[in-house]
Chains A and B, each alone.
Chain A
């Protein structure tokens, strides 16, 4: 411990560590999503997997607090790199929300949702979940590489998926499904819509100036 203590006097960049924590949060939510994905429609997730998802969600929350603490400590001691600090504060919140929605997906059956029946509505939802999974898989690399082109493409796909979610909800409301099935479909559609929206928010930081993160200025996206 004393050697580690001496090590702090060798210097280093705490904001870089905070950035690494953000990427770790993204890695964890990807792991959570991968555990949940096979069980989305049948609600047959094992207790072990469910507990694992909850544990990972706790890790995400702890990392969020850690990043916030680092940022507040940095700004209190040395108010430089303010935009970067504010961006970190925004992004960790989005990743934490992604973790929450993945956890919520495992809770659909507890909220009265039954198994989702096959058919065109489920197929549509399946495609939307696939798009959200694609965003999740790529967001870390796009963010790390600051790949504007890829970010713009994913943002547009994510936004289009959000609009499809809204249309799907209307279609579900007009369907012949029973209460349990509708509950499942609506909750899942809603959860994946929000999850995708938070991932799009994160991606927007690559193309938007700080004050426009979470918003979409078409001129900036072109």
Chain B
């Protein structure tokens, strides 16, 4: 129904249940998403192929093997806050790992940084409520509980990962993901030729052919750039298409199952995020609902965590496009993203006493932000842009 011609009447002209036409629209949306995902996976292939073609050491100026993990974390944060999508960042990381230019160990802090960076979107969205005190308090707390979960997860799991490397030569996330990636033959970089991989390869070859008029080095750079653009654009379009499809489902969930408990809420967070390929969408739609008082902070938290898990699907999907020697590494880094979030939930959600901490921090920060909106703006600008940028520049200056 078009906004300008809407009929305000209860009865015969009221909205109707999903009809056959709606089902065709849904099918059409799914076809569009399937095509976009194909192009997305071709983009991942182009990126890894382009970087690979540049030769060994091509990325050393940016991401050397002995790169400080803190710098990796900051790169992940900054890259994600700039593109406003952890799905894009993790897909790029998968592409880089698949090229063989970036190791899994280097990529792990970047993946963690992407998890932090993605939370900026809903925090910015919550600032739209700043004009109305109580509404802003609820909206801002709902947004920042995601931030605090990710801060706490990184503060716990990154030191553990580094400690593991010092003590045993391999961190726990790297170890777990390595074991599973090796077993997941057939998903990424594996020996048998699946028809899907043949299709992706054909897509990459087509792009390579289009760029064949360029000389070798330039062609590889162009291939990598085209890969990045395809990843960014297709994910943005998938989000746009699926947002419309999922919104009424989210509405139904909010109306029917919101009080059903954390597990159900987490499940919905996973499914919605996996469908729209963006945790930012899921967490951002919670913000106005929280602001309006429809959902409480305690109800928002598990949905947010579900969104964190759901968003890992994109990197796993990206890894399926990778073939060759680095395929297992690509799957491994995608699994790191999943395991990091699962471990974070085990630590910061499952035990009731730890669950309180991110919620407490979000409430306290919201209390302060309500009193001074400048604090809210300073928090967003400082935590997601200023501080990471300053630390990054400092580390570059010191190295």
Contact = CB atoms under 8 A, between A and B. Distances in A.
A181 B6 CA distance: 50
B6 A84 contact: yes
A63 interface: no
Contacts, number: 121
A206 B9 contact: yes
Main secondary structure of the interface of A (DSSP, over half): helix
Contacts of B264: 1, 5
B271 A144 contact: no
A87 to B, nearest CB: 5
Contact of A13 (B10, B18, B268): B18
Interface residues of B, number: 39
Interface stretch (B108-116, B288-296, B321-329, B374-382): B288-296
B248 A11 contact: yes
Name the 7 nearest CB pairs between A and B, nearest first.
Answer: A83-B8, A76-B288, A210-B8, A8-B252, A11-B18, A15-B15, A146-B11
Interface stretch (A67-75, A116-124, A129-137, A160-168): A67-75
Interface in B266-317: 267-268, 271, 285, 288-289, 291-292, 294
A12 B289 contact: no
B264 to A, nearest CB: 6
Given A11-B22, A88-B10, A209-B8, 6 more contacts: A5-B264, A5-B267, A8-B256, A69-B255, A84-B15, A87-B9
**Contact size class for A?**
35 or more
A210 B13 CA distance: 14
A9 B251 contact: no
Specify which of B3, B8, B9 lies most central, judged by the most chain A CB atoms within 10 Å of its CB.
B8
A81 B251 CA distance: 14
30 contacts: A4-B256, A5-B253, A5-B264, A5-B267, A8-B256, A9-B249, A12-B18, A12-B252, A13-B17, A15-B14, A19-B10, A70-B251, A70-B255, A74-B251, A76-B289, A77-B247, A77-B250, A77-B285, A77-B288, A78-B247, A80-B1, A82-B6, A83-B8, A84-B6, A84-B15, A143-B11, A144-B10, A144-B12, A145-B12, A146-B13
Contacts of A73: 251, 254-255, 289, 292, 294
B8 A19 contact: no
A120 B304 CA distance: 67
B208 to A, nearest CB: 39
Contacts of B248: 11-14, 78
